């Protein structure tokens, strides 16, 4: 048998280097892609982390060679450029067929990793990529002065590999091993933010709980300060489960759904997305809970957009306020309270609803960029405030204060300043002796008895063995997509359409945040936006909810505008104005010149629910176990298009007043899977329009409680997790009050 030639061969490596230099050419004395090590990085990754892409690369390199007489390496610069141009356009003969992305998309992402990811992965040789950008790498302990505008960074670049081991590899939390109780008071499906918060509450009240978590155990500090291993790139968190069951997406019924492209990876490991989150922890506004009735009262019934299923929540802000206060203490939220009565005196959000307690800790400090935003926003007549965050600004219950490092959203926190389920509730819950966490337990369905009551969960363990875990109450806490899917896949004789689906409501009222941000480049300035957490942001709520008069505007509700921090090089090298190409000298020049000078004004528009948007089981696409994945039907409607255009125009005004010399906007439709995916198991008082009540109890299935954003009735212009935790604590108290038998 002839041996297959090794790949990549020496010749392939030279082609990769030539490609790296064509995509990122040298500039003067500055190295190009090959010298920075981007080609070598890909060659090494093809023998390791990216081995699955080897065949695709083989075909791409052969196609590039065939496009140039004498081969790609020997070709003149203009011939190489023509080949890469055709490669990008998908017009190069011999390119492999792909479905949800092009081969250029893949190669471009890998080249960016080789240029700008941590050198510990084999590219960015001697920090040469970072030096070109002025990015100092894996750093922490940043001082306020270093975040001042126009302050050159003087720190020598550092790799995450050089961090003290204590910061990188703390001991794993000891999960209780041994016998799993057959009939605990509750079995919780999903050990993420909501599931572990609920389990903690129950065990602290003396109940026994088994948590079934599909993913592996982890401390929550993994992936500290390493951009490449974060969810959006190598997707370690996602591969555990989510990557094998990625939902499909279509915009309208009747269209063929395709694999949805994730704007953020979703973490399927212990702690769920409470580890990767950005920790913006903000309460909803009072009128968010009566969104339909307050809109109708002010603007009339006709103001509700045609086809919208907008509804009030079955509880008020006052009902939830005590749980918000508890959630803020549990998570350790830092913030600055607003003074609704006197906005002029307030540094906080003047629209904030009444609070029973102050924020547990003072707000994160204001960066130079934040101060610039605040000044411009004030000049436009708005009331800027620091976003509240579940990030410790002083030592808090064994957690350290934030070190303002550069790697926060999508990363584990190296000092546990950012709240996760692990560093807030897990240890105490395990110490109670009443919690058992089974990791690697992928739940396939909820088990019901002859009466139709939920009595347990059927799961597959890490070795593929099937088990049934009983529980007095069954709690479903697996994030929006899996919550709907689990109910639909648990159909039985008493629930022929699935659990909770007697009135056909499961999957309806799905909502997902669009991210139509505005970008601005500030010629001649240094913003140092790579320092500090995303949540270290100044924001305005003047255009949120119904905080302004909508008469004559053609839309209802609003959105938040915020100047977020955290701008990491691999991701940043893909953030381009529409007129900048993805390769060659123009791309290189834009990336190098704009990196330290680019700000993003992030827009969180409120999204309304519509009849035509929703989740169901895909009839054509299955997961690795042969079970249908979720099919998302989602499009942006006219109300939101007009709202987004309005918010972008206001954000552009702020950006220009801040001094931006070049601005651009993202499209209105940025797709589903936004990390703010909610609905599908909506809460309400009437089973004809909802799946669960205000405590998460499923209307048509006794013994079953659903927690998480899937129960939201609407998606206000506020991040969801604090409300998820508050609702979860309320649901837990109800389970306890119901005697552990919902
Ligand atoms: C990068 C990023 C940034 C974010 N930033 C913010 C922010 O700043 N502010 C904010 O409010 N929100 C933010 N979010 C969203 C926030 O993290 C989520 O709203 C929150 O984690 C949802 O909690 P959950 O428990 O419902 O789901 P998750 O935390 O996702 O937990 C679900 C758990 O269920 C497990 N699971 C899934 N299916 C099964 C199954 N079949 N069997 C067993 N277990 C299963 C998963 O492995 C996971 O551990 C962010 C999310 C991400 C990814
Ligand atoms: S909270 Fe975020 S920015 Fe602060 S130290 Fe932790 S990861 Fe870094």
The ligand 1 atom at the shortest distance from the C-alpha of residue 719 is: 11
Among 281, 412, 413, name the best residue to mutate to test ligand 2's pocket (greatest count of ligand atoms within 8 A of Cβ).
413
Ligand 1: centre distance to CA 703 (Å) = 23
The 8-class DSSP code of residue 387 comes to P
Q: Does residue 124 sit in the same domain as residue 189?
A: no
Ligand 1: centre distance to CA 614 (Å) = 19
What pLDDT is attached to residue 169?
44
Please report whether residue 705 resides in a domain. yes
The ligand 2 atom at the shortest distance from the C-alpha of residue 533 is: 3
What pLDDT is attached to residue 235?
57
Distance from C-alpha of 183 to C-alpha of 175, rounded to nearest angstrom: 19
Q: How far is CA 167 from CA 100, 171, 223, 229, 533, in A?
A: 37, 11, 10, 16, 17
* Pocket around ligand 1 at a 6 A CB cut-off: 189-195, 212-215, 241, 264, 266, 268, 272-274, 276-280, 409-410, 441-443, 477-479, 482, 675, 708-709, 719-722, 724
Pocket of ligand 2 contains residue 225 by CB under 6 Å: no
Ligand 2: centre distance to CA 220 (Å) = 12
Distance from C-alpha of 716 to C-alpha of 407, rounded to nearest angstrom: 27
Pocket of ligand 2 contains residue 533 by CB under 6 Å: yes
Instruction: Report the 10 Å Cβ neighbour count for 186.
Output: 26
Distance from C-alpha of 660 to C-alpha of 577, rounded to nearest angstrom: 13
Q: Does residue 119 sit in the same domain as residue 213?
A: no
Kindly write down the DSSP assignment for every residue of 654-672, as one continuous string: HHHHHT-SEEEE--S---S
The ligand 1 atom at the shortest distance from the C-alpha of residue 389 is: 8
Ligand 2: centre distance to CA 225 (Å) = 9
Pocket of ligand 2 contains residue 167 by CB under 6 Å: no
Please report whether residue 591 resides in a domain. no
Please report whether residue 233 resides in a domain. yes
Pocket of ligand 2 contains residue 415 by CB under 6 Å: yes
Among 147, 387, 399, 415, name the best residue to mutate to test ligand 2's pocket (greatest count of ligand atoms within 8 A of Cβ).
415
Ligand 2: centre distance to CA 333 (Å) = 13
Please report whether residue 28 resides in a domain. yes
Q: Quick one: which of 346, 306, 238, 342 has its CA closest to 673?
A: 238
What pLDDT is attached to residue 360?
98
Contact 38, 13 (CB under 8 A): no
Q: What is the pTM of this model?
A: 0.96
Please report whether residue 534 resides in a domain. no
Ligand 1: centre distance to CA 42 (Å) = 31
Please classify residue 180 by burial: count the beta carbons closer than 10 Å to its beta carbon, then call 0-12 exposed, 13-18 middle and 19+ buried. middle
Instruction: Report the 10 Å Cβ neighbour count for 23.
Output: 26
Kindly write down the DSSP assignment for every residue of 145-192, as one continuous string: GGGSTT----SPPB-GGGS-HHHH-PPPP----SPPPSS-SEEEE--S
Q: Does residue 203 sit in the same domain as residue 60?
A: no
Beta partners for residue 604, in sequence order? 560
- The three-class DSSP label of residue 115 is helix
Q: Does residue 17 sit in the same domain as residue 127?
A: yes
Pocket of ligand 2 contains residue 413 by CB under 6 Å: yes
Please report whether residue 212 resides in a domain. yes
Q: Does residue 489 sit in the same domain as residue 430?
A: yes
Contact 20, 39 (CB under 8 A): yes
Range of the domain at 490: 183-249+259-278+413-509+675-737
**Counted domains in the chain:** 2
Q: Does residue 112 sit in the same domain as residue 191?
A: no
What pLDDT is attached to residue 179?
78
| 608 phi and psi angles, rounded to 5 deg | -100, 150
The beta-strand segments (E) located in 434-586 are 435-439, 442-448, 454-460, 466-470, 473-476, 508-512, 518-521, 538-540, 559-563
| 332 phi and psi angles, rounded to 5 deg | 70, 75
Q: Does residue 208 sit in the same domain as residue 124?
A: no
Q: Does residue 200 sit in the same domain as residue 274?
A: yes
Pocket of ligand 2 contains residue 417 by CB under 6 Å: yes
Nearest residue (CA) to ligand 2, atom 6: 413
Ligand 1: centre distance to CA 268 (Å) = 8
| Residue 315, both tokens | 């509880």
Nearest residue (CA) to ligand 2, atom 2: 408
What pLDDT is attached to residue 228?
87
Distance from C-alpha of 57 to C-alpha of 67, rounded to nearest angstrom: 15
Q: How far is CA 627 from CA 42, 48, 456, 481, in A?
A: 34, 30, 20, 14
Ligand nearest to the CA of 407: 2
Q: Does residue 420 sit in the same domain as residue 483?
A: yes
Residues 503-533: pLDDT tens digits? 999 999 999 999 999 999 999 999 999 999 9
CA atoms within 13 A on the CB side of 483: 36
Q: Does residue 126 sit in the same domain as residue 192?
A: no
Q: Does residue 188 sit in the same domain as residue 119?
A: no
Pocket of ligand 2 contains residue 223 by CB under 6 Å: no
Please report whether residue 321 resides in a domain. no
Q: How far is CA 553 from CA 534, 556, 649, in A?
A: 31, 8, 13
Distance from C-alpha of 538 to C-alpha of 532, rounded to nearest angstrom: 13
Beta partners for residue 209, in sequence order? 186, 435
Residue 724 maps to which CATH number? Answer: 3.50.50.60
- The three-class DSSP label of residue 511 is strand
Tell me which residue has tokens 């689906």.
Answer: 501
Q: Does residue 125 sit in the same domain as residue 191?
A: no
Please report whether residue 440 resides in a domain. yes
Work out whether the CA dihedral 531, 533, 539, 544 comes out positive or negative.
Answer: positive
Of 133, 165, 193, the position where a domain reaches its end is: 133
Instruction: Report the 10 Å Cβ neighbour count for 2.
Output: 4
Among 175, 418, 675, 724, name the best residue to mutate to test ligand 1's pocket (greatest count of ligand atoms within 8 A of Cβ).
675
- Which residues does the chain have with pLDDT short of 50? 168-170, 174, 236-237
């Amino acid at each position: 048998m002839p041996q297959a030639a090794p790949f990549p061969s020496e010749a392939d490596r030279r082609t990769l280097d030539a490609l790296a230099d064509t995509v990122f050419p040298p500039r003067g004395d500055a190295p190009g892609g090959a010298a920075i090590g981007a080609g070598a990085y890909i060659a090494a990754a093809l023998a390791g982390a990216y081995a699955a892409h080897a065949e695709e690369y083989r075909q791409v390199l052969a196609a590039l060679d065939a496009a140039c007489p004498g081969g790609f390496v020997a070709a003149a610069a203009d011939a190489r450029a023509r080949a890469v141009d055709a490669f990008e356009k998908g017009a190069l003969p011999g390119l492999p067929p792909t479905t949800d992305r092009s081969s250029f998309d893949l190669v471009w992402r890998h080249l960016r990793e080789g240029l700008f990811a941590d050198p510990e992965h084999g590219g960015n040789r001697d920090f040469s990529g970072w030096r070109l950008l002025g990015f100092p790498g894996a750093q922490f302990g940043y001082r306020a002065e270093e975040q001042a505008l126009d302050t050159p960074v003087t720190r020598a670049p550092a790799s995450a590999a050089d961090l003290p081991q204590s910061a990188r590899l703390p001991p794993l939390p000891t999960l209780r091993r041994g016998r799993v109780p057959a009939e605990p008071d509750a079995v919780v499906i999903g050990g993420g933010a909501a599931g572990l918060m609920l389990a903690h509450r129950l065990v602290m009240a003396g109940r026994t709980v088994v948590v079934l978590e599909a993913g592996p155990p982890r401390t929550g500090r993994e992936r500290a300060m390493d951009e490449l291993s974060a969810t959006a790139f190598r997707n370690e968190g996602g591969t555990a489960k989510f990557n094998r069951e990625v939902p499909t997406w279509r915009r309208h019924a009747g269209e063929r759904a395709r694999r949805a492209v994730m704007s953020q990876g979703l973490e399927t490991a212990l702690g769920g997305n409470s580890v990767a989150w950005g920790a913006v922890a903000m309460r909803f506004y009072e009128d968010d809970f009566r969104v339909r009735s307050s809109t109708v009262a002010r603007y009339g019934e006709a103001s509700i957009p045609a086809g919208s299923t907008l509804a009030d929540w079955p509880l008020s802000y006052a009902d939830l306020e005590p749980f918000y206060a508890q959630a803020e203490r549990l998570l350790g939220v830092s913030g600055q309270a607003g003074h609704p009565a006197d906005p002029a005196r307030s540094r906080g959000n003047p629209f904030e609803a009444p609070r029973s307690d102050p924020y547990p800790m003072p707000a994160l400090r204001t960066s130079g960029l934040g101060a610039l935003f605040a000044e411009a926003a004030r000049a436009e007549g708005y009331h800027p405030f620091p976003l509240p965050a579940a990030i410790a600004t002083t030592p808090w219950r064994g957690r350290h204060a934030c070190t303002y490092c550069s790697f926060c959203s999508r990363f584990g926190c190296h000092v546990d300043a950012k709240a996760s389920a692990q560093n807030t509730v897990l240890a105490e819950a395990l110490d109670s002796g009443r919690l058992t966490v089974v990791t690697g337990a992928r739940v396939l369905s909820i088990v019901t008895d002859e009466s139709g009551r939920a009595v347990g969960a059927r799961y597959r363990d890490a070795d593929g063995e099937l088990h049934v875990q009983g529980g007095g109450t069954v709690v479903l806490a697996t994030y929006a997509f899996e919550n709907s899917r689990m109910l639909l896949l648990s159909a039985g004789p008493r629930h022929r359409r699935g659990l909770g689906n007697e009135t056909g409501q499961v999957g309806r009222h799905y909502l997902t945040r669009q991210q139509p941000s505005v970008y601005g480049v500030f010629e001649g300035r240094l913003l140092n936006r790579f320092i500090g957490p995303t949540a270290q942001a100044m924001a305005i709520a003047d255009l949120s909810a119904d905080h302004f008069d909508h008469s004559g505007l053609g839309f209802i509700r609003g959105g938040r505008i915020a100047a977020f921090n955290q701008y990491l090089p691999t991701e940043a090298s893909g953030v381009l104005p529409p007129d900048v190409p993805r390769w060659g000298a123009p791309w290189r020049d834009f990336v190098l010149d704009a990196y330290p000078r680019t700000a993003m004004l992030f827009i969180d528009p409120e999204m309304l629910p519509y009849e035509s948007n929703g989740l169901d089981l895909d009839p054509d696409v299955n997961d690795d176990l042969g079970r249908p994945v979720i099919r998302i039907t989602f499009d942006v409607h006219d109300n939101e298009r007009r709202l987004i255009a309005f918010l972008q125009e206001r954000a552009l005004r702020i950006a220009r007043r801040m001094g931006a010399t070049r601005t651009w906007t993202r499209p209105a439709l940025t797709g589903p899977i936004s990390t703010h995916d909610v609905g599908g198991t909506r809460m309400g008082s009437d089973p004809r329009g909802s799946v669960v009540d205000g405590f998460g109890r499923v209307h048509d299935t006794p013994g079953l409680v659903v927690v998480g954003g899937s129960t939201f009735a609407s998606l206000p212009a506020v991040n969801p997790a604090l409300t998820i935790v508050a609702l979860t604590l309320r649901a837990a108290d109800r389970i306890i009050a119901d005697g552990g038998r919902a």
